[in-house]
Each structure stands twice: as structure tokens, then as C-alpha cells.
Amino acid sequence: MVKIHPDLITSGTGEETISPYLTTEQETFTIWMKSLVFNTNGCTVFDSKGKIIYRVDNYNSKSCREVYLMDLSGHVLFTLRRQKFGLFKTWEGYRSSSGTAESTTKLEYFRVKNNVFQIPNKDSSSSYRVIAGSCRNDEQYCYKMVTRGSSLAIEDHCGKLLAEVKRKQSINGLKLGDDVLTMMVESQVDHSFIIGLVLAHSLINCIL
């Protein structure tokens, strides 16, 4: 059974515990590419019961150099930072150890990279390389994000589907606005990590 890294988090005492964001079965989320703060730039994520579980508040800024993925209470889960590596657009995400931006460390991280010469269009596919790692054991894990039309798939190194994001449809099958998405996450996957990758993809493409 495939697990997205990292599925372990470090507590304040240095002990490792299972991430509370690890799915036990296939789960569906709704992503609204707006902040709840006066309908400004950002992102709000709801679970299948309509409960807010993640939020990003960019206020009136777009394509910031640093973005914070928070839970409903405002605790920082990941800090995403824009990096420049030659001809690539790159965003890195670092997990927060105690819910603040200041507590962000590089112990657990991910990196999403896109070649600037790769210009996706509505009818073509494009891919993004993802590397996730932990400095505690020097291990690295490779994933791939693939866009096909308006959908985004996240796969492991073997091509196994781990999560998929696409425009949300109503019960009658009508597609909602471009800023309302549905995200399916497979079992045994850290959905906070998946949301971090979705945000990085949006930032690379200047959507967020």
C-alpha cells in the first residue's frame, strides 16, 4: 500500500507520531480558490462534510514569494517559498513543527519544479517533478504531477495515482466555476502534503 511521504511528524519532544492528516480511506475535498477573508486572494479547503480544514490568506497579493498553508485555527502547517534554480520555476514547502511560520524547519520538505520552456495549453498535458525528503534520514521520494486539460493528477514514481484535482460538478452534472475544484485523495496518503503540492502548482502557474 502506497504512502505519501511524510506520514510521520515530529512532536515538540522530538518524538515521531503518525500524521493526523493521513487518510484511512479514499476521501474527497472541495477546494475554493478564494480566501474567506473578505473574498480576497487565497484558498479554502473543505472536507466531504463541509468543514473547513485548510486555508491560505494572501489578502490582496497574488503570486507572493512566500505562502502559508494553515488549518482553520490559523496554525501554519507548511511554508511555501519561491526559489530560483536556473531555467526552472521552483517552489519549496517546509513543514512547521509547532504551528507558526517561525517554527518552519527543513527537516521535512518538498520541491516542485517546472521547466520554463514547457508551455502547457488547454488541450495538452504537462508534468512537474516533485521531490520530497526528510533530513532526519537523508531519504528522498519522487513523485510527478501531470496536468491533462483542466485536471491535475499526482502520481508516485511507479505511476500509481495518489490524488486527482478537477473542476467540481453539481449533482446535476453541471460544472461549477473555474475556482471551485474537487480533490480525490486515495487511502494512506497525507492530504496536507497533497494540498501543499496543489498550492505549489497554482503558484507556479500564477493562479494563487
How is the chain split into domains, by residue range?
A: 22-205
Q: What is the SS3 assignment for 106?
A: strand
CA distance 93 to 65: 12
* pLDDT value of position 10: 43
pLDDT in tens, 8-67: 444 444 445 567 899 999 999 999 998 888 767 899 999 999 999 999 988 766 667 899
pLDDT in tens, 136-172: 667 789 999 999 888 999 999 999 999 999 999 888 8
* Whole-structure pTM value: 0.84
CA distance 84 to 101: 21
- What percentage of the chain's residues is helix, strand, coil (to nearest 5)? 10, 50, 40
Q: What is the SS3 assignment for 199?
A: helix
Mean pLDDT of the chain: 82
CA distance 122 to 89: 20
Domain 22-205 coded CATH 1.10.150.390 = no
- Residue (of 43, 50, 89) closest to 68 by Cα position: 43
